[in-house]
Amino acid sequence: MSQPPAVPVPPDLARRYSSSSAGRAWLASLPDLIRSRMEQWELDLDLMPGTFPWSGHGGIVVPVLAGGTRAALKVAFPHDEAVVERHALALWNGRGAVRLLASDAGTCSMLLERLDSGRSLQTQPMDVAAEVWGGLMRELSLVPDGQPQWREFLHVAARAEQWSDDLPAEWEQLGKPFPRWLLEAALEVCQTRGAVGRRSGADVLVNTDFHFLNILARPGATEKPGHRNFAAIDPQPMVGEAEFAVAPVLWNRMADLPAADPAAGLRARCRDFSRAAGLDDEAARQWSLAREVDNALHYASKRDHGGDLARSLWVASTLAGRTLDGLPDPRTLPEPGRAAGRTTPA
């Protein structure tokens, strides 16, 4: 087998990781990482000359052929989600999620089935999106068993305990960027739902980044919608209450909220997606509130993220039942990460 050709690094990925020494070192190593995986797994590059491979916030995805079969080679920058992603994909085994064909822990590399990157839930009507999302959510919500991969995941209740300690300190350090009552609402969720999650015994595998753009059509899927025609990608897996997964569908596609009453539309979306998956919509509302307060504090700590901060504050306060005054029309706010370079999961 001849040496695989060099794979160009997408400019946006290069910009994202060139600002730190660790990122620059990873970028410098990336051509050799890709070449070594292609040689080990006997892959052929399936990239049109003059084009770049796909990239997301955390890595690069190269279209390849594995024994003539279309596949995708993903090489991620080493970080917590990338380390555990392969464990979740192995447990799902292609049911509701992209199928894992091979992995290499040392380089955060995975060989995946290739999905249709041009077809996601981002452009599906919202009722169809809810049906597909709900069906996939049911498939992804595995109950822990004795397999060793389960030991790798953090627990949602532990995250809530961490927030109980961290959020008040961050709020103070950032100069109290939003009213105290909203912080208190998030802390109440952490205390109540965190305790419920510890006691309930209803733990499942939770994809915490389960939004529209992270759900792609399977190859050869018909135009007729249905959850078996789609699969989740880029999971950020945890263990705990399934309702923790609802939040990303609320803070994405806000331009689709009804103009007459976007607040009522947001609450209805929370209800509709929850019920499509057989979830408790009140628990989903509570977890989504807490997650958006955490996001708001993250954005408040960054420069040039005013639109992201406004979006998080609008969603969090609306879910709390007291939409903050002075915020822009939520339908005009940017999609996550669009106000500046993407710095949190969408």
Report the CATH number at residue 261.
3.90.1200.10
Residue range(s) defining the domain that contains residue 250? 118-332
Answer yes or no: do 194 and 68 share one domain: no
* Statement: residue 345 has pLDDT above 80: no
In total, how many domains does the chain have?
2
pLDDT category of residue 342 using cuts at 50, 70 and 90: very low
Answer yes or no: do 90 and 155 share one domain: no
Answer yes or no: do 247 and 127 share one domain: yes
Answer yes or no: do 72 and 150 share one domain: no
Strand partners, 232: 97, 215
Answer yes or no: do 106 and 138 share one domain: no
* Statement: residue 257 has pLDDT above 90: yes
Residue 288 lies in a domain: yes
Answer yes or no: do 31 and 141 share one domain: no
| pLDDT for the residue 313 | 98
Residue 340 lies in a domain: no
pLDDT tens sequence across 36-46: 999 999 999 99
Residue 2 lies in a domain: no
Answer yes or no: do 133 and 251 share one domain: yes
pLDDT tens sequence across 190-206: 999 987 766 667 899 99
How confident is the prediction for the chain on average, in pLDDT? 92
Report, as an integer, the average pLDDT of 124-141. Answer: 97
pLDDT tens sequence across 89-102: 999 999 999 999 99
Report, as an integer, the average pLDDT of 269-286. Answer: 98
Answer yes or no: do 146 and 248 share one domain: yes
| pLDDT for the residue 344 | 45
Residue 272 and residue 326: Cα distance in Å, rounded?
28
* Statement: residue 341 has pLDDT above 50: no
Of 134-148, 188-202, 234-248, 275-289, which range is least confident? 188-202
Report, as an integer, the average pLDDT of 220-247. Answer: 89
Answer yes or no: do 122 and 160 share one domain: yes
Report the CATH number at residue 71.
3.30.200
Answer yes or no: do 181 and 276 share one domain: yes
Q: Which residues are catalytic?
A: 209
% residues pLDDT > 90 (the chain): 80
| pLDDT for the residue 316 | 98
Answer yes or no: do 178 and 285 share one domain: yes
Residue 337 lies in a domain: no
Q: Which residues of 4-28 are buried (b: 16+ CB within 10 A; e: fewer)?
A: beebebbeebeebbeeeeebeebbe
